[in-house]
Amino acid sequence: MDEVIICEKPRSSEKIARALFPNAKKKKYKKIYYWVHQEEDKKTIIIPAAGHLYTLKPKNPNEELFFDLEWAPVPEVDKKKRYIQDYIDAIDGLAKNADKYLHACDYDIEGTLIGYNVLKHICGEEALQKTLRMKFSTLTRDDIIKAYKNPIELDYGQVDSGIARHVLDFIFGVNISRSLMKSVKESTNRFIKLSAGRVQTPALSILVDREKAIRKFKPEPYWIIKAILENDIIALNQRGKIFQKNKVKSVLGTCKGKDAIIEEVKINRITRMPPAPFNLGGLQAEAYKVFGLSPKKTQSIAQNLYIEGYISYPRTSSQKLPKTIDYEKIFKGLSKDPRFKEKITNLKKPLKPHEGKKEDEAHPAIHPTGLLPEKLGKYEKKVYELIVYRFISVFGEKALIESMNTKLDIGGEIFKFSRKRVVKMGWMEQYPYQKIEDEKFPEFEEGEKIPVKEVKAEERETKPPSRYNEASLIKEMEKRGLGTKSTRADIISILYDRKYI
C-alpha cells in the first residue's frame, strides 16, 4: 500500500517525517527534498508544498472586470515564483495514484485550502475521496504521532471558507485596484501602483478617520491645580481640568497660606487575577509594548518557533488551555532551564490556568511545548521567553494590591492623592514584564493638619486623539472583525508598502 503525507512547507515535512519514521530516507526529486519510509508492503512518502501552490486568475484576462475565476499554478500567474513549479512537479511525479492520502498542512483555513488544492489539482479529484486529515497544534513528536494515528475527516467547511475568502479578496481587491490605477492614470497621465482590498481599504479608512479627527482638533488651554505637601506628596484639586482662568485665581486665593486637613483616608485591597494566556493578537500587542516589535515581526518569529517545535500553533484566537496539553510535562521540560525552574517551583498545586473568554475550535492558546531551544536569535529569544513566562504566570496565584486614597481640605477646596503597594506578589513573581507599583504609604490620620509647601496652577492644552500604532490598529481591526488573526499584520505591511502610511 502506498501512503502520501502532504505537508505545508519543507521544514514541517522534515519534522513530521522524523517524528513518524526516524529511519525515513531523505530523497530528492529534481530540486525538492522528500522522505520515504518502507515497512513491509507499506510505503509512505512525506512531501512538502511551499505554502500556496495555486492561486486564482481570471478565465478571460481580456475582460475589463473579473468575476469568472479559476485556480492556476502560482508560477503561471506570478513569474517571480517559478521555483514553486518544482514543488508541483515533485508532487505530480511522486504522489499520484496512492492508496491513501494524509493532509498534514497547518490546521486552519489557509492550511486546509493549501492541502486541498494540492490534492485536487495535482493528485486528482479521486485523491480527495482517499484523504484524511492530521490535526495537531504543536510539531512535537508526541502530537504528530497522535495526529497520525487518529486522523479525522477533511473539513469541507474550512475548504469552502478558504475558497470564499480568496474569491472575495480577488473580486474586490483586483477589480477596484485596477479601476483605481486606471482612474489615476487618466487624470494624471502617470502610472502609480495602488491597491484596494476587502480588509485593506477599511483598515486604511480607520487611519484616515483618526487623522481627520486629529487635524480637525483645536487645542484648548486648561489648568490643573496641585498642592505640594511634605515628603514630596502631590495632591490634585478635585475640580480636575479648569478652563476659566478667573476660577483658577479664585482657587489659588482660597488656598493661599492654609494648611491641609486630612478629611478621609481609605485603604482598599484590590485582587489582580493572573493574565490570560496569549492568542496571536495578545502576543503581538505585548511584544510591541515590551520590545517594540512590529506585529508582523512577532508573527514571523512565532511561526518559526512553532516550526522548530518550541511553541504551539501561533495563529490562534484562543485564550484557553485545555488539560489535554499536559501542563506537568511542559513544566518538567521547561524546568531544565534554571531561570524557568525558579518560577515554576513557586507554583501552587493543583495546577489550574487562569483563562480568557476567547475560544478557537482549531487550536488552544499559544504555549511552550517544553522543548528548550538550543540556539535562538536575539528577538527569537525575547519572544520565546515572553511566551514561557506568560504561560507560567497563568498558573500563578492572585496578586494583592493595597491602595490608599486620601482626601484633604485646603481652605475649603478638596484635593486628593493616592498610593499603591504590593501586599502579595502572586503571579507577578512569575511574569517579569509586569510593571509593579510599590509606593510608600504616608501615615496620616483623619483630622490631622499638614503643612502645605505650595499650591500652584499648571497650564496645559487638551490633546487630540492619539494616532494608532501597529499594535493598537490590530486590536481595533480585531474589535471590528476586519481580517483574520493571520492576515492583520500583513495588511498593515501592505499599507506601508503602498506608502499610504
Closest listed residue to residue 428, CA positions, set 417, 437, 416:
437
- Quick one: cell of 443? 501615615
Closest listed residue to residue 200, CA positions, set 491, 487, 496, 497:
491
Q: For 141-188, give the secondary structure using H, E and C.
A: HHHHHHHHHCCECCCHHHHHHHHHHHHHHHHHHHHHHHHHHHHHHHHH
- Quick one: cell of 103? 493532509
Alpha carbon separation from 335 to 306, 323, 328, 342, 375 (Å, rounded): 20, 19, 10, 8, 17
Give me the residue label for grid cell 491602595: 403
Closest listed residue to residue 269, CA positions, set 399, 397, 398, 403:
403
Give me the residue label for grid cell 481595533: 476
What is the number of helices (H) and of strands (E) in the chain? 16, 15
The number of beta carbons lying within 10 Å of the beta carbon of residue 355 is: 18
CA distance 156 to 193: 36
Report, in this order, helix, strand and coil percent for the chain, each rounded to 5: 40, 20, 35
Q: How many residues does the chain have?
A: 501
- The one catalytic residue in 34, 313, 384, 468 is 313
**CB-based contact 272:307 (threshold 8 Å):** no
Q: Coil, strand or helix: which one is 280?
A: helix
Phi, psi (degrees; rounded to nearest 5) at 408: -135, 155
**CB-based contact 116:131 (threshold 8 Å):** no
Which residues fall within 8 angstroms of residue 298, CB to CB, at 6 or more apart?
A: 283, 284, 287, 288, 383, 489
Give me the residue label for grid cell 501512503: 3
Rounded to 10 deg, the angle between the 280-291 and 295-307 helix axes is 120
- Counting other chains too, the contacts that 444-450 makes at CB distance below 8 Å and 24 or more residues apart are 444/262, 444/265, 444/406, 445/262, 445/265, 446/262, 446/263, 446/264, 446/265, 447/261, 447/262, 448/261, 448/262, 449/259, 449/260, 449/261, 449/262, 450/229, 450/230, 450/259, 450/260, 450/261, 450/262, 450/408
Q: Is 107 a catalytic residue?
A: no
**CB-based contact 280:364 (threshold 8 Å):** no
CA distance 276 to 318: 10
Active centre residues (catalytic): 313
